[in-house]
Amino acid sequence: MSSTLQERLAALSPARLTGMRRGIEKESLRAQPDGKLALTPHPLPLGSALTHPHITTDFSESQLELITGVHATPEAALDELVRVHQYTYRVMDAAGDERLWVSSMPCGLPTDETIPIGRYGSSNVGRAKSVYRMGLSHRYGRRMQTISGIHYNWSLPGVGSDQYFGLIRNFRRHAFLLLYLFGASPALCSSFVAGRPHELQPLGDGDTGTMHMPHGTSLRMGRLGYQSEAQASLAVSYNSLEGYGASLQDALTRPWPAYEAIGIQNLGGDYNQLATSLLQIENEFYGTIRPKRVIYPGE
């Protein structure tokens, strides 16, 4: 261990370490007992997907997102996630026989256009959220957007932007090792790749409906998973907040020919997407780790 690293670790006082904060966002598809995607609306007893602080939807109306508050310990964050999970299951049990799909790769999917996009009402904010998701469906396809994951939000007091970006660079430098050691999506439902070229092999004997890649670890993060060829052209800088902001500003304002061809509205006047730029909004940028700004009410 280098002396510089030892000095930096020694500078982390107990008070700063106990000031560490974290929160969890967990996405899961609602599935039927036969393993197929549930096409029912967001359960009414779970509240409004637009305004509920702990239970909302991600891309799809069938894709729940459970959100914890900010906690001082991992145990407290997990305890709250368990409580939200249990409440959600009680509501789903009372409403029918749907279950939460436990895997990151999706359950049995219908045709792409049949996968329901999240609906958030008729307010301007609600409509913008739905149009944004419509844009995602045009750009990447709805199947890819049904891949679910977990977001781990983390902060440490006394850390400035430069230090956070140093952490981000280190994480990205070693991210391949994390996927190699902990990747846990070696198989997927054949419906996910229906009509797409792939090199996957059937898992097991007979028609199991499951495909896999021998010795695969993370199909989710591979070519068949959560990837974007358009975003691969981005040269995002992680050297500083200013550089990162400039990179995203360029992506948010630079027209992208394929998205210009889609257009803002269709012939019937319905919105196809929020913008024709490479990114519609900041959240569209994919990454294994990224800085997250606080969004205040009304923004």
Task: Say how far apart CA 238 and CA 245 lie, in whole Å.
Answer: 9
Query: Which of 74-88, 213-227, 228-242 has the weakest average pLDDT?
Result: 213-227
Q: What is the pLDDT of residue 293?
A: 77
- Cβ–Cβ < 8 Å for 38, 32: yes
pLDDT average, residue stretch 120-140: 97
User: Does residue 3 surpass a pLDDT of 70?
Assistant: no
Q: Quick: pLDDT tens for 51-98.
A: 999 999 999 999 999 999 999 999 999 999 999 999 999 999 998 899
The Cα–Cα gap between 26 and 23 comes to 10
Q: pLDDT (tens digit, 9 = 90+) per residue, 155-206?
A: 999 889 999 999 999 999 999 898 888 888 889 999 999 998 998 999 988 7
The whole-angstrom separation of Cα 299 and Cα 297 is: 6
pLDDT at 123 over 90: yes
Give the number of other CB atoms < 10 A from CB of residue 285. 17
Q: Is 215 exposed, middle or buried (0-12, 13-18, 19+ CB in 10 A)?
A: exposed
Split at pLDDT 50, 70, 90, the class of 1 is: low
Burial state string for 46-60 with b = 16 or more CB within 10 A and e = fewer than 16: beebbeeebbbbbbb
Distance between CA 164 and CA 170 in Å, rounded? Answer: 10
Alpha-carbon 47 to chain mean position: 21
The confidence band for 6, taking pLDDT boundaries of 50, 70 and 90, is confident
- Asked if 139 contacts 259 with a C-beta cutoff of 8 angstroms, the reply is yes
Which structure tokens are listed for 18? 């106990």
pLDDT at 172: 94
Q: What is the pLDDT of residue 128?
A: 96
Most trustworthy range by pLDDT among 105-109, 158-162, 293-297:
105-109
**Residues 9-42 pLDDT 10s:** 788 888 888 999 999 999 999 999 999 999 999 9
